[in-house]
Amino acid sequence: MDYYIVGRIVNTHGIRGEVRVLADTDFADERFVRGNKLYIFNKNELVEQVEIEQVRLHKNFYLLTFKGKHNINQVEAFKQMVLKIDATQQKPLDDGFYHHQIIGLRAVDEQGQEVGMVKDIFNSGATDIWTIKRKGDKDIMVPYIDEYVGDVDLEAGTVVLKKYQDFI
């Protein structure tokens, strides 16, 4: 089964079993809801499935309490682990793409010549930045805006880059 990261447990909070979570999803208000099930991973290893019992916001973090975990000693080991959902919990997007759909696509120029591969995506605040791994060359970072990114074809496994030379 495929799993997708929705947050990172950065610390515990208090002594009553709350964990401090930094959201890593555009849908935090949908993901971190009482009754939702999440999977805790340490690196790539599934540690435990948990159910959210309580949620509250505190200083740009989500404070979560998991069902049956009401003591700091029960959640201490989760620090620095990631929270994921499984593929069945992922809703289709009306417009746009999930990062995992883009990472790994071949990046080509407007003439179809291979430029590299989408290695990573991160958000700069204003827009997503795509890291393109080029064969035998330095990686380039391209902002995901119409001026630089053209057609994304998931079926063909390609993304068209325009004026990518601006970033070499």
Report which of 102, 143, 138, 107 is spatially closest to residue 124, judged by C-alpha positions.
Answer: 143
Residue spans of alpha helices (H) in 38-159:
72-75, 99-102
Query: Which of 88, 108, 125 is the C-terminal boundary of a domain?
Result: 88
What would the two tokens of residue 41 be?
């991973």
In terms of domains, do 13 and 69 share one?
A: yes
pLDDT (tens, 9 = 90+) of the chain, 168 residues, equals: 889 999 999 999 999 999 999 998 878 999 999 999 999 999 999 999 999 999 999 998 999 999 999 999 999 999 999 999 998 888 878 888 888 889 999 999 999 999 999 999 988 778 899 999 998 889 999 999 999 999 999 999 999 999 888 887
Per-residue b or e along 16-27, where b marks 16 or more CB atoms closer than 10 Å to that residue's CB = ebbbbbebbbee
Report which of 82, 92, 81 is spatially closest to residue 154, judged by C-alpha positions.
Answer: 92
Inside any domain, residue 93: no
What would the two tokens of residue 144 be?
């995901």
Find the farthest-apart pair of alpha carbons in the chain and give their distance in angstroms, rounded: 59
Inside any domain, residue 115: yes
- pTM score of the predicted model: 0.71
Inside any domain, residue 109: yes
Range of the domain at 61: 3-88
What would the two tokens of residue 67 be?
């069902």
